[in-house]
């Protein structure tokens, strides 16, 4: 069964209530995990947040000698080193898994089964937002990726976590950490300019008076975009327009994931 269809089918035509106790397994810095946290925060769905080290579950024999506890962490939940995973009695976990994986599948399930009166509108597929995200991706990634492992979160509590991240991105994505750092003076103005452009795309406010992308309120468009902004908050020297800053801070206040400004790195 396709990913999104699985969670929706689990709720049926008349969505059931969410379990009273939910556990969300995440990496703090992961944008896919953050999607779920922003959604659940907006819907007011309570959950226990469990953060894994980024190298846990990676097999050192297959990861250049980095990683540790190859059968633990996320692997113990689903058989794969993937997060987020949502668990709880009644959560529709696929066969052989201890929770529901895949960020959009989790979002779909939670939105379908959320308490009465709670809703998040579906994504619109706005072409202007898609173009903005595509242009923002390069400066955001080049600035944030070398700095995220310096954030004091559980993702990096073991030295092997950072070593695994470095191996993964240099080996699988040919990411050059030194070159990215060397381009900081060039990339900061580009990222700041992109944030100024984003301000014009924030067409509405949500029920709490916080800026959002669409005139009718908070939607999956926001769920997909906000994690990119949170990643950039680990970079010192970025210029944040007032409404864009309010947009990020408002979403973070509702969720269990704080922005990184307090620990931002130059």
- Give the per-residue pLDDT at 76: 97
Side-chain half-sphere CA neighbours of 85 within 13 A: 22
The reported pLDDT for the residue numbered 5 is 42
High-pLDDT (> 70) share of the chain, %: 94
Q: Please write the tens of the pLDDT for every residue from 46-82.
A: 999 999 999 999 999 999 999 999 999 999 999 999 9
Q: What is the pLDDT of residues 179-224, one digit of tens each?
A: 999 999 999 999 999 999 999 999 999 999 999 999 999 999 999 9
Q: Could you read off the pLDDT of 76-118 as tens digits, one per residue?
A: 999 999 999 999 999 999 999 999 999 999 999 999 998 877 8
156-170: average pLDDT: 98
Angle at 119 between CA 113 and CA 125, to 5 degrees: 110
As a whole number of angstroms, the distance between CA 80 and CA 99 comes to 12
- Fill in the DSSP letter of residue 163: H
Mean pLDDT across the chain, nearest whole number? 94
Strand 48-51: give its sheet, edge to edge: 48-51, 23-26, 85-87, 100-101
Q: State phi, psi for 211 to the nearest 5 degrees.
A: -55, 150
Question: What are 103's two structure tokens?
Answer: 């960020």
Whether 211 contacts 247, CB under 8 Å: yes
What is the rounded CA–CA span in Å between residue 112 and residue 222? 17
pTM over 0.75: yes
DSSP state of 93: P
- What local confidence, expressed as pLDDT, does residue 256 receive? 85
């Amino acid at each position: 069964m396709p990913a999104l269809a699985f969670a929706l089918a689990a709720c049926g035509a008349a969505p059931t209530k969410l379990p009273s106790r939910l556990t969300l397994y995440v990496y703090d810095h992961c944008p896919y995990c953050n999607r779920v946290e922003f959604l659940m925060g907006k819907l007011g769905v309570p959950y226990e947040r469990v953060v894994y080290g980024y190298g846990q579950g990676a097999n050192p024999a297959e990861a250049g000698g980095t990683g540790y506890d190859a059968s633990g962490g996320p692997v113990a939940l689903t058989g794969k080193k993937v997060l987020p995973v949502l668990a709880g009695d009644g959560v529709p976990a696929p066969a052989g898994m201890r929770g529901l994986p895949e960020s959009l599948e989790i979002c779909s399930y939670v939105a379908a089964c959320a308490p009465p009166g709670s809703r998040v509108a579906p994504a619109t597929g706005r072409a202007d937002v898609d173009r903005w995200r595509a242009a923002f991706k390069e400066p955001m990634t080049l600035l944030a990726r070398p700095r995220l492992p310096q954030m004091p979160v559980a993702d990096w509590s073991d030295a092997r976590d950072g070593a695994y991240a470095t191996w993964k991105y240099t080996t699988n994505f040919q990411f050059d950490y030194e070159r990215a750092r060397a381009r900081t003076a060039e990339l900061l103005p580009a990222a700041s300019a992109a944030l100024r452009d984003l301000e014009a795309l924030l067409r509405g406010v949500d029920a709490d008076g916080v800026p959002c992308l669409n005139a009718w309120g908070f939607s999956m468009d926001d769920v997909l975009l906000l994690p990119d902004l949170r990643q950039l908050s680990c970079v010192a020297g970025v210029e944040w327009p007032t409404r864009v800053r309010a947009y990020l801070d408002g979403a973070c206040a509702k969720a269990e994931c704080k922005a990184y400004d307090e620990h931002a790195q130059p």
